[in-house]
Amino acid sequence: MTVGDVAREAYREGLPALSASAVGGLLAGVALSGMRAEFDAVAGLLVLVPALLATRGNVYGSLGARIATALHQGLVEPRLRGSDERLRAAVLAALGNGVIASGFSAVVAWGALVALAAPHTSLLALTSIAVLAAFLSGIVLAVVVVVVVFGGFRRGMNPDTLVGPIVTTAGDVFGVLFLWLSVQLVTGGI
Amino acid sequence: MATEWTVRAITRATLPILLVLTLVAVASGLVLGGFEETLLEYPSLLVLVPVTIGSAGNLGSVLASRLSTAFHLGTLSFGADETLLGNAIATVALSLTVFPVIGAGAWLLTSLLTESGLTFTTVLVVAVVSGAVLAVLAVLVTVTTAYAAYQLELDPDDVVIPVVTNTCDVLGVLVLFAVVQVVV
């Protein structure tokens, strides 16, 4: 293959996933820009945003890849009803890891803000928001990942190519949406 | 090597690296916090934050997974190589396709919902320049990481994709910050 052939093929293969993540990212951005009042009210919240979004991508991307591989190997049946122990363990581990990593990022971010003498809210508020957002978005993302990967597999699609775009798109959108909800719940807005 | 499917085994296999990646992301969050005033003043720049981070990570991860596969198949050699060069060109072309749409979309959506605060051209220039710089950086980071994994005899699937995706995420914030400083 010539350089041009390789480039054309890579371009065609990459465009759908990149377009999907661009749409998801723009929607998440619109939600984020609707949270300007929250960023003003909760000092330090914006610092958490990259960590929370990256955690969603890493945890649920890895869950999706794990389930996709297991489907290929016949270790997991693509059925939701009466689902087996292993699938439940994988989802629980993803939820737990997402909550731990998000809580950890809040503690580290708060420590850094204090060390830099930057404006910051209380450690309790920042951590509660991060943990609550991780838990709520985690439940939705786990369901989305399992349903999409199972559904795609049963329709004869390769689950590996579905996981990336689904997780980046849904992760960004639900990540920001549940961050907003968590701020409302913790600061008493709702 | 397959991880056993229990909560304990999965956590042990994934949590340590997850916490390290979280530290890196918090560092990029501190950069974001450093230009919070500018972002809150111009909502269309705030709209660009997740989409720039996500697209940068995506450009890197698509390239990384293609190079990993080529590497496993033995069709990749480091140096003046068709696979390497073709993929690098595709990454830049993908970025120059998507980022103009992202810039236009960010301005349009913000203008519909509130006030953009910036001209269409400014937002477009911020998006396209960021995208072009990020595409070049994504190529450099991915090739360097893939080469390091090859030298250290690590499985590129385990190492290259997470390292590249997260490095590109962070670069997304840094490049956006730098471009906003220059353009806005």
pLDDT in tens, A47-69: 999 999 999 988 998 898 888 88
Residue A149 CB partners (closer than 8 Å, separation 6+): A64, A67, A68, A71, A78, A159, A162, A163
Percent of chain A scoring above 70 in pLDDT: 98
Partner B contacted by A107 (CB < 8 A):
no
Any B CB within 8 A of A84 CB: no
Q: Where residue B79 falls among pLDDT bands split at 50, 70, 90?
A: low
Counting Cβ atoms within 10 Å, is residue B39 exposed (0-12), middle (13-18) or buried (19+)? buried
pLDDT confidence band for A86 (50 / 70 / 90): confident
Contact B85 A6 (CB under 8 A): yes
CB-based contact, B170 to chain A, within 8 Å: yes
ipTM score of the complex?
0.87
CATH for A78: 1.10.357.20
**List of residues 6+ apart from B164 with CB closer than 8 A:** B60, B61, B63, B64, B138, B141, B142, B145
Whether residue B1 is predicted with pLDDT greater than 60 in this model: the reply is: no
B46 and A CB contact within 8 Å: yes
Domain range for A161 is 3-187
Domains of chain B, first to last: 17-183 (1.10.357.20)
Residue B165 confidence (pLDDT) above 70: yes
- Cα separation, B106 vs A49, in Å, equals 18
Chain A residue numbers with beta carbons less than 8 Å from the beta carbon of B36 are 39, 46
Say yes or no for a CB contact (<8 Å) between A21 and B26. no
- Residue pair B57/B165 in contact by the 8 Å Cβ criterion: yes
Q: Tell me which chain B residues have a C-beta less than 8 angstroms from the C-beta of A164.
A: 58, 61-62
Q: What is the pLDDT of residue B2?
A: 58
List chain A residues with CB under 8 Å of B169: 50, 53-54
For residue A65, give every residue at least 6 positions away whose Cβ sits within 8 Å of its Cβ, in sequence order, or none.
Answer: A160, A163
Enter the pTM of the model.
0.87
